Amino acid sequence: MDPAALNAQVLQWGAWGPVLVIALITTAVLVSPIPSAPIALAAGAAYGHGWGALYVLLGAQAGAMGAFGIARLVGSDTVHRWFGRRLATGWMGSQNALMGIVFVSRLLPFLSFDIVSYGAGLTTLSAWRFALATLAGIAPSSFLLAHFGKEMSSGEGNRILLSVLALGALTLVPLAVKWIRDARARRRKARDAGSD
C-alpha cells in the first residue's frame, strides 16, 4: 500500500475522501493483515495534521468498536464455556485494570491494535470503558501518523528525514523504558543479594 497513491486516490474522491479514509481505516482494523499506517499517512498528506488526525481517529475507533463487538458476539460464549466465570475474578474481572491495559496497549506501537480490540471483546470489560480507553490511547498516534504523512508529502528532504527519524525514535521509547526498568530491577536484586 503506497501512501502517495492512496493520497492521490483520496483527493480524487473530493468530499467523499474523508469517508473513504474512515472506511479504509475501519476495514484495516477489522481485517488484520491490512496495514493501517499507510492509510493514516495518506490521510495526513491529503488533509493535514488536524483533519487527517480526526479522520484516522474516527476510523480507528470505529474499527476497534467493530472488532470488540464481533468478539463479544461470536467468541464470548465460547470463552465462558471453556473457562466458566473464572476469568471474571481477580484483576481479569476489574474494569479499571482491564481499561488500563487497553489504554497502555494503545500507546505501544508494537502491539497489534487489531488483536487487542478482538481480545478485549472476550473479556468482561464494558463497551463504554473500552471505547474511552481506546479513544484516549489512539489520539496521540493518530495525530503523529497524520503529522508524519503531512511532513513526508512536503517533498522537502530534511523534513522527511526528520519525520522518519522521529517515528523510529518513538518506536524505540517503550523498548528503552523496559530496558531501564529491567536494569534497575537487576541492580536492586544484586544489592538485596549482597546485603544478605
- The total domain count for the chain is 2
**Pair 145, 167 in one domain:** no
Between CA 94 and CA 64 the distance in angstroms is 21
What pLDDT is stored for residue 65 in this prediction? Answer: 95
**Pair 7, 97 in one domain:** yes
Q: In 3D, which of 69, 63, 78, 53 has the Cα closest to residue 24?
A: 63
**Pair 115, 193 in one domain:** no
Q: How confident is the model at residue 89 (pLDDT cuts 50, 70, 90)?
A: very low
**Pair 15, 73 in one domain:** yes
Q: Do 48 and 150 meet the contact criterion of CB atoms below 8 Å apart?
A: yes
Q: Does position 6 have pLDDT exceeding 80, yes or no?
A: no
What pLDDT is stored for residue 80 in this prediction? Answer: 63
**Pair 121, 88 in one domain:** yes
Number of H helices and E strands in the chain, helices first, is 8, 0
Q: Does position 155 have pLDDT exceeding 80, yes or no?
A: no
**Pair 136, 49 in one domain:** yes
Q: Do 29 and 64 meet the contact criterion of CB atoms below 8 Å apart?
A: yes
**Pair 106, 162 in one domain:** no
Mean pLDDT of 71-96: 67
Mean pLDDT of 42-63: 91
**Pair 138, 190 in one domain:** no
Convert the pLDDT of each residue in 94-130 to its tens digit.
Answer: 888 899 899 988 887 667 888 889 888 888 899 999 9
Q: Do 60 and 114 meet the contact criterion of CB atoms below 8 Å apart?
A: no
Most confident of 31-40, 132-141, 149-158: 132-141
Enclosing domain of residue 181: 157-196
Which residues touch 32 (CB under 8 Å, ≥6 apart)?
112, 114, 115
User: The C-alpha cell of 130 is what?
Assistant: 473500552
**Pair 179, 111 in one domain:** no
Residue 60 CB-density burial (10 A; 0-12 exposed, 13-18 middle, 19+ buried) = buried
What pLDDT is stored for residue 94 in this prediction? Answer: 80
How many C-beta neighbours within 10 Å does residue 72 have? 18
**Pair 47, 67 in one domain:** yes
**Pair 106, 130 in one domain:** yes
**Pair 139, 187 in one domain:** no
Between CA 105 and CA 138 the distance in angstroms is 9
Mean pLDDT of 140-160: 76
Q: Does position 196 have pLDDT exceeding 70, yes or no?
A: no
